[in-house]
Amino acid sequence: MSLPLPDRHTFYAGRPQPSSTSSGTFQSIDPSTAQPVCSIHTSSTSSIDSAISAAKSAFPSWSSTPPIERSRILLKAVSLLRARNDELARIETIDTGKPFSETSTVDVVTGADVLEYFANLVASGGLNGEAFRLRDSAWVYTTNEPLGVCAGIGAWNYPIQIALWKSAPCLSAGNTMVYKPSEVTPLHAQFLAQIYREAGLPDGVFNVVYGAGEVGGYLTKHPDIAKVSFTGQVSTGRKVAGAAAGEMKYVTMELGGKSPVIVLPDANVEQAVDGAMMANFFSTGQVCTNGTRVFIPAAMKSAFEKTLLSKIKYIRAGDLADPNTNFGPLVSKLHYEKVVSYIRHGTDKDKARLLCGGPGQPSNLPSNLKNGFWVTPTVFTDCTDEMKIVKEEIFGPVMTILTYTNLDEAVRRANNTELGLAAGVFGKDINEAHRVIKQLQAGITWVNTWGESPAEMAVGGWKQSGVGVENGRKGLEAWVRNKSTLVEMGGEVPTVFTEPITSKL
């Protein structure tokens, strides 16, 4: 793959459409080296209007295409995604800074899984409604109708996966989409659009616009957009949801978290440490479901920390193409500065004890990567609930260890947050684990594992962490609207407007 890549332009009506030069450009940056990869042309309002118009024009035909035929096209796209997995994974690595060992086994794969799931679901009757007899002369049936033109606004941490998580149920249900990738990681979008087109998706069914918040805001308020699906931080999600709700649009919001990991007193320490590390350092900690508040029994603290320190060496930063590398840089300079500021705050202001890591770069980093946005995996211990690093979402490789004396206390403290995206429990007593999970206020929960979200599993946050769910059967419901029809078969139209009854005296 030769760099830099060709410029990216608004994609609609089946091909890239150059925007006016006055709309401006921005760059995709390789986070591992801080070098530019590609210039992206911001979509002008006229280009966005054209993309929405293309989607609107394509909707009548696509929505009336039988689900089995839509499924065949989308399953062909699945085959293309799987055949080009490594090529697309390299694009994701360049764009996000994730190691190829991760992008090649998770990002494209899990996105294709979701597209395959929804394509098969609609092909096998997943859009069917219900029918029942109301009385001898009447019956009722319901249908699930597509919404129309939908907007998908992606996040920067799992670009192609999120694009597929949004477009898969959207297109399977018969809607069309205008998709805006994050301006931080936009490279995947045109590749996905081209794959859809090659698979046989009609022109205008999937379109791409580029830009920052103002582009997302324009999409959200546009009168021809029926639904907005957004993934991102809570503050932005509130604005998007508010704007969409004000226009009576459907919304799905997948927002941030400050998720707890509760280690039960009977847990295997080594397994608990493995789970906590996956919950904090996978994808360099840039995962919305990260379990950054690790609650452990006070009696286990010494053993837990000792085991954790012995395993930190297995986090390997370096050449992102090396299959042994399992830890990359942060996604951008701005985000790097944010995470480093939290780490400094943890030591300087919160006065938490730094068990390992800190604001510096990982040791033994190759010289050609020194200018990248690298930070060392960091663990704070002796933490308390009121610390900023414990309360606020950092979105980086920063673990905070908190101790507890009894489980009721741990649960109460774990729930003491306005966020409720994910939570997890590690322990041998499965009944106790279920008891604790039931009390945790989160929409996604795990027992003795962390992070897996298969296509069949509906996921979504509670409280300020989101509205609605993605994936699973429930995820398809978010992309259709119900129509109920009552059929009267009695041969007469019921009416109260008849001749008055004449009384006979």
Do residues 140 and 289 both lie within one domain? no
Do residues 190 and 51 both lie within one domain? yes
Residue 96 lies in a domain: yes
Give residue 2's pLDDT: 79
Residue 3 lies in a domain: no
Do residues 377 and 435 both lie within one domain? yes
Give residue 150's pLDDT: 98
Angle, helix 85-96 to helix 108-123, in steps of 10 degrees: 130
Residue 27: how many other CB atoms lie within 10 Å: 13
Residue of 294, 236, 335, 308 lying closest to 423 (CA atoms): 294
Do residues 158 and 280 both lie within one domain? no
Write down how long the chain is. 505
Residue 496 lies in a domain: no
- For 433, residues 6+ apart whose C-beta sits below 8 A from its C-beta are 264, 425, 426, 427, 447, 448
Coil, strand or helix: which one is 342?
A: helix
Residue of 183, 128, 175 lying closest to 154 (CA atoms): 183
Annotated catalytic residue: which of 92, 102, 116, 254?
Answer: 254
Give residue 326's pLDDT: 98
Q: Residue 336 is which amino acid? A: Y
Which helix (H) or strand (E) is 445 found in, with range? strand 444-447
Number of domains in the chain: 2
Tokens representing 419 are 């966020």
Do residues 248 and 272 both lie within one domain? no
Residue 431 lies in a domain: yes
Do residues 133 and 159 both lie within one domain? yes
| CB burial string 1-14: b at 16+ within 10 A, e below | eeeebeebbbbbeb
Beta sheet of 480-488, edge-to-edge order: 131-135, 138-146, 480-488
Do residues 22 and 130 both lie within one domain? yes
Residue 164 lies in a domain: yes
Do residues 251 and 267 both lie within one domain? no
DSSP result, 72-132:
HHHHHHHHHHHHTHHHHHHHHHHHH---HHHIIIIIHHHHHHHHHHHHHHHHTTTT---EE
Residue 429's domain comprises 260-447
Give residue 3's pLDDT: 84
Give residue 505's pLDDT: 61
Indicate the pTM of the whole model. 0.96
Residue 361: what are its φ and ψ, rounded to 5°? -80, 160
Residue 503 lies in a domain: no
- Cα–Cα distance for residue pair 105/130, rounded to 1 Å: 39
254 in catalytic set = yes
Give residue 22's pLDDT: 72
Residue 460 lies in a domain: no
Do residues 433 and 289 both lie within one domain? yes
Question: Which residue do the tokens 């992309």 mark?
Answer: 479
Residue 504 lies in a domain: no
Do residues 353 and 334 both lie within one domain? yes
Give residue 504's pLDDT: 66
Do residues 476 and 393 both lie within one domain? no
Do residues 212 and 264 both lie within one domain? no
Q: Give pLDDT tens digits along the chain (505 positions).
A: 778 899 999 999 999 998 766 789 999 999 999 999 999 999 999 999 999 999 999 999 999 999 999 999 999 999 999 999 999 999 999 999 999 999 999 999 999 999 999 999 999 999 999 999 999 999 999 999 999 999 999 999 999 999 999 999 999 999 999 999 999 999 999 999 999 999 999 999 999 999 999 999 999 999 999 999 999 999 999 999 999 989 999 999 999 999 999 999 999 999 999 999 999 999 999 999 999 999 999 999 999 999 999 999 999 999 999 999 999 999 999 999 999 999 999 999 999 999 999 999 999 999 999 999 999 999 999 999 999 999 999 999 999 999 999 999 999 999 999 999 999 999 999 999 999 999 999 999 999 999 999 999 999 999 999 999 999 999 999 999 999 999 999 999 989 999 988 766 6
